[in-house]
Amino acid sequence: MADQSIEILLNELRRSEQTVRDREELARRNEETTRKFFEIEKRILSILNYKDLFEVLLAEIKKKFGMPSAWISIIDKSEVTSFIEQLESSEAIKKHMNIIDKNTFLKLVGTKTTPLLINNNLKAYSKLIPRQDKYSIRSMAISPISLDGEIIGSLNQAHISPEHFKPGLDTSSLEQLAVKVSFCLSNVTAHEKLKFLAYSDPLTGLLNRRAMESALKREFSREKRYQRTLSVVFIDLDDFKSVNDVHGHDLGDELLKYVATQLLDISRDTDVVARFAGDEFIVILPETSARSAIKLMSRLKDYFLSYPLNTAGTSIPVSISFGVASTEDKSIENPAMLLKKADEMLYKAKAAMKRN
């Protein structure tokens, strides 16, 4: 009987020791997890552009936690989506970001900022999951992220094990990381807005002269390096002063915005459209001959003749003159000469119009 009591006591002692070891192991794992999240936070807090923020964040999550999949979901038409076009050159972002309809997102995730853990019925969340990951994950964590207090998407992590993100597990570290990401988004967005203002014309939204000159230098260097043709178009509105004098400056501004919109509509992703000054615009056309540039601008000129600006019950005719210069002209040795040549060609076009 005494031996049996001793055995029971020994078993209780072993269980107690195992419990202590389990708690110590859990504490060690939690401490390790906290340390890894802290390291990720340190990496992203000083980043001031979307591309690096998202790339570093997702790469660090995968590296430090051995996470098979991590991605960002952004609600369509949120403030962040207006900057997403800037990320098109990033392969990592293309693969690991998806844009989702707001109603669909809120139906799946809701309005709470608490992370959501899922390990069943993943099919219901298919619109939130990138195409390449849809058939490989067995559990996922969805951590809502916000911008200035408004939910604009989520930071998502997924694992091949259904137990990894089992509902009921502690999500405090995930929530803390989402808060830090939201803070970074606020910083990055503010920085991107300032950058946009520094390089954009506030009336038309086109690049300003400073940004255009930088882009022209870049494209000219690229043309020299790869021996490709670069053309520049200098555009001026005919009789713009009379529009301001007759209709007022508000309608004059509407005319400038109308012209800017049409220039963007006819341009390619590789083209650069800028407002130079007043009613003057510049279009930089990489890999485009002078002949092709002239044809393009002639079509635009014809378009304006057929479609005047109709605003506030007033129809305002639109007429443009343009000059084209190209690196096909071997006398052009630098970007400034290319721009000056286009300006000279514009002057000749305006003079010829007055003679006629």
- pLDDT tens profile 56-72: 999 999 999 989 999 99
pTM of the model: 0.65
Asked if residue 250 has pLDDT above 60, the reply is: yes
- Cα angle 32-60-73, degrees, rounded to a multiple of 5: 115
Please tell me the predicted confidence (pLDDT) of residue 16. Answer: 65
At position 63, the amino acid (one-letter code) is K
Asked if residue 191 has pLDDT above 90, the reply is: no
| 86-102 per-position pLDDT tens digit | 555 556 566 778 889 99
Instruction: Classify strands 69-75 and 97-100 as parallel, antiparallel or unpaired.
Output: parallel
Task: For residues 72 and 54, give the distance between their C-alpha atoms in angstroms, rounded to a whole number.
Answer: 8
Please tell me the predicted confidence (pLDDT) of residue 85. Answer: 61
Task: For residues 10 and 17, give the distance between their C-alpha atoms in angstroms, rounded to a whole number.
Answer: 10
| 122-147 per-position pLDDT tens digit | 989 988 988 776 778 899 999 999 99
What b/e string do you get for 5-16 counting C-beta neighbours within 10 Å, with b at 16 or more?
eeeeeeeeeeee
Please tell me the predicted confidence (pLDDT) of residue 199. Answer: 87
Please tell me the predicted confidence (pLDDT) of residue 312. Answer: 76
Per the prediction, the chain carries an average pLDDT of 87
- State the helix-helix crossing angle for 240-247 and 249-266, rounded to 10 degrees: 140
At position 95, the amino acid (one-letter code) is K
Backbone φ and ψ for 88, nearest 5 degrees, come out as -60, -25
Over residues 111-131, the mean pLDDT reads 91
Please tell me the predicted confidence (pLDDT) of residue 88. Answer: 52
